[in-house]
Chains A and B, each alone.
Chain A
Amino acid sequence: MNQSFNARRAGLLALNIVLGLVILAPFFWMVSVSLKPAAEPFAIPARLWPQDPTLDNYINAFRPEFRTYFVNSVIVSLLTVVITVSLALFAAYAFTRSQFRLLTVAMTLVIVAQMFPASAIIIPIYKLMRSADLLNTYTSLVLAYVTVTLPVAIWMLRGFMANLPLTLEEAAAIDGAGPLRTFIEIIVPLCRPGIVATSVFVLIVTWQEFLFALSFTSTKDMRTLPVGMNDFIGQYGIRYGELMASSVLISLPVIVIFFLLQRQFVAGLTAGAVKG
């Protein structure tokens, strides 16, 4: 029995290694190409790792425009995270605690709405933005991103709030706190791991979004990083080295943030609230 257990563990380990390789392979290729001199990506036979690694691509990628794109991306992403998560907190709390039956239906509709592909709704949204005179502004992007990320954010936070013991809200009511105060001083602090997880999710979605950003922005000074990468795709060719180098640069902040906050995801914060 012990032997079969070990065999199972070995099997699972092997499977995990294979899955890990599949997931990491594109990242490896991205880094590899970004370090290759301009001629090498298409050399045959292809090399896994460049013969003469060079940082030229990074130097080329890190142009003044890149800084503008970066600032734009940061502004749009942060606004989206703050607005989406704030709205989602209120909505999730209502969905979690309300006894109102129709809310269950509403909750399903929220997730159904999420299923429309962006490419199906982009034209109507574009027209809306145009008639509201919002094209080529941060507002248009933030509005679109909040709309797209809000449903999933509500679902994530609702799942988290549903696990908070009701006793805490009752204790707060007995202690004299009204609903808003209970929400801000008791519920929100206890949702911190959920808020962190949701924020990272919204950040990743927004940070890498391409379609809306491409459609709604028309001048270089409004572009975000993913659209900015387009600069390397020209009429007569694609500069893969610079493209991959910017991809690495764009991915880095998200990867760093993810690792920094990883520990927060562990939802250990409610320990000690109630006996158990």
Chain B
Amino acid sequence: MATVSLHHVAKIFGAFNAVQDLSLEIADCEFLVLLGPSGCGKTTTMRMIAGLEDPTAGDILIDGARVNDRPARDRDLAMVFQNYGLYPHMTVAQNIGYPLKVRGLPRAERETRVKAAAARVELSSLLDRRPAELSGGQRQRVALARAVVRTPRLFLMDEPLSNLDAKLRTSMRAQLKHLQRDLATTTIYVTHDQTEAMTLADRIVVMKDGRIQQSGTPAEIYARPGNIFVAGFVGSPPMNLLAGTVSDGRFSHDAGSMVLAGHSGPVVLGVRPEDVSVVGADEGDLRGRVYSSELLGDSVLLGITVGNDLVNVKVGPEGGRAIGSEIAIRLNPAKLHVFHHDTGLRLAEAGQ
């Protein structure tokens, strides 16, 4: 139960600006995901909130109180580390109970709460093992149980699923989301995996080069990416980005042209793979040639060379095409994203 505010926070390591002028408000009980490629400053931001790094500038407030000078142990939060951070010389039960032991809880109460936390993440049968005897998924759950054994003000999770295999990751993701709803505790979650961000977050903050690129609900970020970087980072497969020129209400590209009102000059046109349709060679907006055709089960992913660009198109399971065939594509005019060619910023839609 806590709110977190970052006011113009910066972190400089030597000559490297890890985080620059970052301001952010996190609401009580919110599940906030910091999303970005490696080196974007998301982990550094989390570590500053945790108290494991000191900000070079700016203020960090938890529940309205400035915590810059408060050591990690006094911030009343729990953290799950990317590499788990389990104590190898302690059993699972001792690992989970350590935060309680440090706080001087009586042994009997500790035992009850350790058992409850272990049951929550289905670890009850492994309490006497040591971390070395556990699988990756089990270690992950021990780390999680250690975080939920008390009721901290804040959960911090640093890529907690990145060391698990794909199948386990999907099921742990669902467990995590469920757990957070159950505990109703403000959670900050760091990941570079956009699927994790989309599925877990109440709100996503996309970061790059130490700066916030965009902040919004997963639906907002997906539907209206604020710049080319966000457009290319969120969504799988990523949004198609085509550079071209607009004049007299038409967008011209090497491979053809189409109607695009309300803009002029060089732009980058973005369109998601599911918002493109494939039509006969003479019927579409842009001509192309099929480069690849992959059946994904419930859909087919087509790769189409359009001029010098490769456009991904998602079509129905019957929509496979022969590689090398000449076709054309049509872009859904209601689902186009237009970005400034130089700044990469999203341009207002026509009529807005």
Contact = CB atoms under 8 A, between A and B. Distances in A.
A273 B99 contact: no
Contacts of B87: 168, 171-172, 186, 273
A163 to B, nearest CB: 13
B84 A177 contact: no
A11 interface: no
Interface of B: 50-52, 71-74, 77-79, 81-89, 98-99, 102-103, 130-134, 136, 139, 146, 156, 163
B322 to A, nearest CB: 45
B79 A272 contact: no
Contacts of B72: 170, 173-174
Given A173-B51, A175-B102, A178-B73, A270 B88 contact: yes
A272 B86 contact: yes
Contact of A273 (B86, B102, B136, B156): B86
A78 to B, nearest CB: 25
A275 B50 contact: no
Given A174-B77, A175-B146, A274 B84 contact: yes
5 contacts: A165-B83, A170-B81, A272-B133, A274-B84, A274-B85
A-B CB proximity, top 8 nearest: A272-B132, A171-B85, A274-B83, A272-B131, A167-B85, A175-B99, A273-B88, A173-B72
A181 interface: yes
Kindly name the residue among A172, A175, A269 whose own CB sees the greatest number of chain B CB atoms within 10 A.
Answer: A175
Nearest to B103: A176
Contact of B89 (A165, A170, A173, A190): A190
Contacts of B89: 189-190, 192, 269
A17 to B, nearest CB: 37
Contacts of B156: 174
- Mostly, the B contact residues are mixed
Contacts of A178: 73
A271 interface: yes
Interface in A155-214: 165, 167-168, 170-178, 181, 186, 189-190, 192
A174 B86 contact: no
Nearest to B77: A174
A117 interface: no
A269 B90 CA distance: 11
B88 A269 contact: yes
Given A273-B131, A274-B85, 10 more contacts: A165-B83, A167-B83, A171-B85, A174-B72, A175-B146, A189-B89, A190-B89, A270-B88, A272-B134, A274-B83
A276 interface: yes
A171 B131 contact: no
A173 B71 contact: yes
A167 B81 contact: yes
B101 to A, nearest CB: 9
Nearest to B79: A174
Nearest to B47: A170
A252 to B, nearest CB: 32
Contact of A173 (B52, B86, B130): B52
Contacts of B102: 175-177, 181
Contacts of A269: 88-89
B146 A190 contact: no
Nearest to B82: A275
Contact of B78 (A165, A174, A186, A270): A174
Interface centre among B73, B79, B85, B156 (most CB of A within 10 A): B85
Contacts of A177: 73, 98, 102
Interface string A233-276: 00000000000000000000000000000000000011111111
Contact of A176 (B73, B83, B88): B73
A147 B103 CA distance: 39
A192 B74 CA distance: 29
A192 B83 CA distance: 22
Contacts of B79: 170-171, 174
A171 B82 CA distance: 11
A173 B85 CA distance: 11
Interface in A80-109: none
Contacts of A271: 88, 132
Contacts of B74: 176
A170 B50 CA distance: 10
Nearest to A192: B89
Among A170, A174, A271, A272, the most chain B Cβ lie within 10 Å of the Cβ of A174
A177 B133 CA distance: 25
A16 B347 CA distance: 76
A174 B72 CA distance: 6
A170 B81 CA distance: 9
Nearest to B149: A175
Nearest to A167: B85
Contacts of A171: 79, 81, 85-87
A247 B166 CA distance: 64
B131 A176 contact: no
A165 B86 CA distance: 10
